Structure 1
């Protein structure tokens, strides 16, 4: 396994020049057209968070792939006995299945990052910027790599080679870099199948109606199947970031502020149920309703939309 890991190519190394050129190009368009897509302090924060994420990802890469190898080799006799093969090999169709399986895993990993507070604490840094640009793609949580492989266990168990899984995960991440921009319009029928910047803006928005939508990586089919897809409303101003943003641009604060808030809530909790819910409940959960989850906020928002408008509303407004 050590030989395989040492020979494992890092796809990101080949794409970094492309990423850099695109970020420079987007920043130039922003400056030329006065779009204010970038903010200096925000961009510096994204850079440091991205560097930290790259370091943590590198340090945990052996653990992640070793984790996959454990299940891959442990279940080889089981596959031989009950499925009639020792592994799935490297055929083209296996690669296709691996890409699809990886994207399915990413959807659920990503969705739970938004609906379980402990996982949200690891992921919130990615949403903390109020700017939506290509640099935002590098804002990845430093602790997310510790639990992310759990969602992929079934793949080495079935005989997908760990190296193939790791490469598919990398390609998925590379693809998602290109989602973080407001300069790409609707993509027609392609935009109905593949994740794209138009619908990913919904995912990064803090508009109440947009919360917890469009979790897919490459394909939109998972959001459509599991009821989380929402197209962007071109008539609605998209507001990026989180409802309760952290103070400042310190990368340490950006990565760990929500963990600190969880600890504060757990310490003041009155029952074990409250403690468990503060950790594993949805973000925003509170026992007395003083804070709201995304679902509760959306229920209130929908209720307000249904309030009938008085016939003389225009008269009152014009007076």
Structure 2
């Protein structure tokens, strides 16, 4: 069974909402919410991501999702059966709900690893590289995440969920993620208890040390709460958006590749292969000589300083 990807209808809406927020902010509210050159960079990156994503969709579906589905869910006596022995899942409403939950779970770990593993961060930093937070930032997507993202989700089709169902759920996830990138929606009370909402995503995009590497969730915030990465927005804290190692350029190719260059430069700092490995696969900020620190190390240092003062 085939379904139309929600993003087919979502992309034109994205552009419309960006234009609406841009017009409103420039005319009535905050003239600095959007910077023109930054917006052009974000839109260019978004267009490139959409084009590349369309080209890679065939690869990810045919060679990853469909291949895994066929291998792990072969036809047995005319019935699609998982190799573990159960009948592969159909399209009942509760199967859709379970698939959406599993998609959200996978999104959390995919997103979290993009912040925890530096080679993944080099691809994902593109999305965080703007010091603006608006709907234009939502489409500022890295191109290289497309090459490894399917492998975080393939297990869902391996256990018996149809690839078309998973792709539809991925599209819904993207729609939710887009609309989170606005400052015009404030705290939502009851919904903040279980949904990943706009103020939570503002925390995620902040470079304030207390906010960094928080709120990785997709639609729900339950996985952040369970795995210790949830953080509520503090209205008393002035948010600074962006990253600690910005590209300092509006050139999309510099934005796409600047962290890879940083990794290469760091690898040359030590001759030990263990150190080179950590510069690629360790957490962002790791260094063999302590010249730079990870977020966890910075927080530990701050905690030690606070305890000394007390």
TM-score band, normalised by shorter chain: over 0.9
- Aligned counterpart, 1:242: 243
Alignment of 1:69 with 2:66, yes or no, is yes
Alignment of 1:217 with 2:221, yes or no, is no
Backbone CA RMSD of aligned residues:
1.6
1:19-71 superposed Cα distances (whole Å, 9 cap, x missing partner): 22321221123221235110011001101110111111111101111201111
CA 1:73–1:286 in structure 2 vs 1: closer, same or farther (change >3 Å)?
same
- Aligned counterpart, 2:16: 21
1:226-255 superposed Cα distances (whole Å, 9 cap, x missing partner): 000000100000000001111211111111
Unaligned runs of 5+ in 1: 310-319
- Aligned counterpart, 1:198: 199
TM-score by length of 1: 0.91
Corresponding residue to 1:57 among 53, 56, 60: 53
- Aligned counterpart, 1:285: 286
Q: Is the 8 A contact 2:82 2:160 kept in 1?
A: no
Could you tell me how far 1:143 is from its partner in structure 2? 0.5
Distance in 2, matches of 1:81 and 1:119, equals 32
Q: Is the 8 A contact 1:213 1:228 kept in 2?
A: yes
- Aligned counterpart, 1:314: none
Distance in 2, matches of 1:25 and 1:82, equals 51
Distance in 1, matches of 2:309 and 2:47, equals 51
CA 1:306–1:70 in structure 2 vs 1: closer, same or farther (change >3 Å)?
same
CA 1:81–1:243 in structure 2 vs 1: closer, same or farther (change >3 Å)?
closer
Q: Secondary structure at the match of 2:186?
A: coil
- Aligned counterpart, 2:230: 229
1:268-289 superposed Cα distances (whole Å, 9 cap, x missing partner): 4211100110110000110000
Distance in 2, matches of 1:264 and 1:102, equals 36
- Aligned counterpart, 2:180: 179
Corresponding residue to 1:37 among 33, 38, 52: 33
Q: Which has the larger radius of gyration?
A: 1
TM-score by length of 2: 0.93
